[in-house]
Structure 1
């Protein structure tokens, strides 16, 4: 079957609706409409670009292989301009005006949370591929990115053993970094460490000179960083310009990925750490094949990230779930179909947990060298997701 593409570009306004290349809702039953909610503009577009490419790759592969039970996928992309308020408006447009069965996307927790009231109102499904702070399981969301226990709970003690126990925290001022750093402080305390400082900046913030001068004065053993988007690039560039030494005080990030490294340059990333479920340098046949397919399909100079890999996985998991139901517009049945679903992903075999809407994933730590992430630790198996990590909430006090 030839590949079918419906790609809609939209303007950034709450009222703006897709009006290029729209297909009629008078379907003949041979297509399934799926939304892609990812930014091509704004401060997080630098990261979302590869996620969007990965979604296109997955859906095009599925269509080329015959679609879903012989039905072609029509995918409709909305640009929410890295703005949570616009994300809410755009997902409503996808649900109400584009008549999608489900949506894959959102890059930040702020954008995801902004869509929740809309998803509840229309009982629609979002498959969210980005790592998250946890402390949430919404009935209308399937989470295919890392939970804290798959990214941070082992990472921080590992860093403290390797680098030292004095830590400085920095992130953007929204839910993901704030909650992640709340969790980080508890982990640091449990491991007899000390937090020397904690700073938050607006999304897109770029002037880090004063903060880095403060960091130089207090002399932490490492900087725990959950900055996102353009702020990541600015922070690392300023770190390099001011002459800080990663051998003495590396940046240890949970959101800095290959696209960020491409944006800042290899010299700025050199010697710093990252924690992700997947790195494109993973030396397995499945990973190598994924990288090859991505590069051949995209051809835009972008590079694969962990969130891009999770987006690819999300599309395939959604297709598998749709195959299991009689009517994909029956959202309750569609969500139930995700329970226990497995996929041989580029990172390894993953599974949607039967007891929550989260996904069993691998944990990997890496150090940047010559513009690439060299993996220095990886879990032997996929790790059960804990939206509220047991190590932090042993008595179930979140309920």
Structure 2
């Protein structure tokens, strides 16, 4: 495992602490290590999301939509006649729990893959065990990139697939002066490094940059700084319950959305529902999916999901849809691996990952339209979109890329090299595996 200097600088000490936590479960000498698939038995996968705590707002829906997708797949014959069996864990918005439960899922439950996490801090907490055991993580949300592992498949957008479009859009439509606000962990900080470059390229000006502890609901001091700075718009990478508090206090403090809108990478339909449509109205989100997308597949997805027992929260949103897609990427990857081996008992987690490059989820399955997995970095080709929140809490698409955009995890770090299927290849030709 190549743990690079950047990983330390990016603030993953929380992840390291989680891995080293003394209460982590370890297998006894009688218990087998690693994932297994058996003929005639269900295919076990782990769902590792937070159902409680400050990350539950987006992550509960990820758990619900994964159950919906698995049920949908099972009703249509499963995978080669095998049902998928989800092992559901509440990570409780605690990085120690993510790490501990990832170990249990892989070593004791013997899941063939994990689906989970919403923050990069939680992802980095579980990656060491995923890589050590050569298991497979499907990470179904946006993230900062600057990572190249051989055990992950990501179905959300990278920075070059959302903020690269969002920042110049805001500059063009609202003005050059911008203020950054984010939660205090690796994803917002690294995302803002990308956003600074896009802002500079658009001729914009950064007036301030503030970070709030993850889970915090106190934005008074930050809003005072924003009031003094008088930006044309705010670029937000605030997540979870904090995101809801930020928007509410923005409105309570008398800020006007028409003269100073918030442009976000995370504030979708579920967050808007939690804060109130009147609070979210007028603000912007960059994402590959909105519930209002007009196509037959999305109409069917929205209708069937919301009337199912899993649609209890009353909306679909980008993070749910990316999670839904990950279930089908897994299905197609396992089917492809089975064609290669002819025997389900010979299929491994790593084999599924290695054959997943180029897998497509077509228009008739994907609510956002065709997507496919990059064969080098195992992120997703997709069409970036920008939506504006409407008075009813829905999002109106105000921009869509004309073509699919390739995922580029090192878009602002070209000297780091190229992420390939076998590792990060530096300009001098040297390759390193599992760079996080």
Normalising by structure 1, we get a TM-score of 0.91
Partner residue of 2:358 out of 337, 340, 350 = 340
Does the residue aligned with 1:324 lie in a helix, a strand or coil? helix
Q: Which is further off, 278-287 or 330-339?
A: 330-339
Q: Which is further off, 342-351 or 290-299?
A: 290-299
Does the residue aligned with 1:212 lie in a helix, a strand or coil? helix
The answer (yes or no) to whether the contact 2:140–2:155 under 8 Å persists in 1 is yes
Cα separation, 2, equivalents of 1:137 and 1:27: 31
Q: Which residue of 2 aligns with 1:5?
A: none
Q: Is residue 373 from structure 1 mapped to residue 384 from structure 2 by the alignment?
A: no
Cα separation, 1, equivalents of 2:76 and 2:203: 54
Cα separation, 1, equivalents of 2:63 and 2:218: 29
User: Structure 1 pair 14/160, CA: closer, same or farther in 2 (3 Å)?
Assistant: farther
The answer (yes or no) to whether the contact 1:366–1:374 under 8 Å persists in 2 is yes
Cα separation, 1, equivalents of 2:268 and 2:311: 19
Q: Is residue 41 from structure 1 mapped to residue 52 from structure 2 by the alignment?
A: yes
Cα separation, 1, equivalents of 2:176 and 2:312: 41
Q: Is residue 230 from structure 1 mapped to residue 241 from structure 2 by the alignment?
A: yes
Q: Which residue of 2 aligns with 1:76?
A: 87
The answer (yes or no) to whether the contact 1:14–1:86 under 8 Å persists in 2 is no
Matches within 5 A, 1:110-189: 110-189=121-200
Does the residue aligned with 1:154 lie in a helix, a strand or coil? helix
Q: Which residue of 1 aligns with 2:101?
A: 90
Superimposed CA distance per residue, residues 58-81 of structure 1 (whole angstroms, 9 cap, x where no aligned partner): 100010011100011111111111
Does the residue aligned with 2:370 lie in a helix, a strand or coil? strand
TM-aligned CA deviation for residue 290 of structure 1: 0.9
User: Structure 1 pair 259/386, CA: closer, same or farther in 2 (3 Å)?
Assistant: same
Q: Which is further off, 323-332 or 202-211?
A: 323-332
Cα separation, 2, equivalents of 1:16 and 1:354: 35
The answer (yes or no) to whether the contact 2:223–2:250 under 8 Å persists in 1 is yes
Does the residue aligned with 1:280 lie in a helix, a strand or coil? coil
Can you give the 5+ residue segments of structure 2 that lack an aligned partner in the other structure?
A: 1-21, 27-35, 419-425, 427-436
Matches within 5 A, 1:244-255: 244-255=255-266
Q: Which residue of 2 aligns with 1:363?
A: 384
Cα separation, 2, equivalents of 1:144 and 1:200: 26
Superimposed CA distance per residue, residues 233-253 of structure 1 (whole angstroms, 9 cap, x where no aligned partner): 000000000110011110000
User: Structure 1 pair 302/329, CA: closer, same or farther in 2 (3 Å)?
Assistant: farther
Cα separation, 2, equivalents of 1:354 and 1:16: 35
Q: Is residue 278 from structure 1 mapped to residue 289 from structure 2 by the alignment?
A: yes
Q: Which is further off, 227-236 or 350-359?
A: 350-359
Can you give the 5+ residue segments of structure 1 that lack an aligned partner in the other structure?
A: 1-12, 18-24
Superimposed CA distance per residue, residues 322-359 of structure 1 (whole angstroms, 9 cap, x where no aligned partner): 11224475222111121110012110011001121111
Cα separation, 1, equivalents of 2:123 and 2:148: 12
Q: Is residue 322 from structure 1 mapped to residue 340 from structure 2 by the alignment?
A: no
Q: Which residue of 2 aligns with 1:21?
A: none
TM-aligned CA deviation for residue 82 of structure 1: 1.4
The answer (yes or no) to whether the contact 2:144–2:158 under 8 Å persists in 1 is yes
Does the residue aligned with 2:315 lie in a helix, a strand or coil? coil
Normalising by structure 2, we get a TM-score of 0.83
User: What is the number of equivalent residue pairs in this alignment?
Assistant: 378
Superimposed CA distance per residue, residues 10-55 of structure 1 (whole angstroms, 9 cap, x where no aligned partner): xxx96589xxxxxxx9966331111111110111100112211110
Does the residue aligned with 2:164 lie in a helix, a strand or coil? coil
Q: Is residue 382 from structure 1 mapped to residue 423 from structure 2 by the alignment?
A: no
Q: Is residue 59 from structure 1 mapped to residue 70 from structure 2 by the alignment?
A: yes
Q: Which residue of 1 aligns with 2:318?
A: 306
The answer (yes or no) to whether the contact 1:15–1:89 under 8 Å persists in 2 is yes
Cα separation, 2, equivalents of 1:383 and 1:26: 35
TM-aligned CA deviation for residue 182 of structure 1: 1.3
Q: Which residue of 2 aligns with 1:22?
A: none
Q: Which is further off, 380-389 or 167-176?
A: 380-389
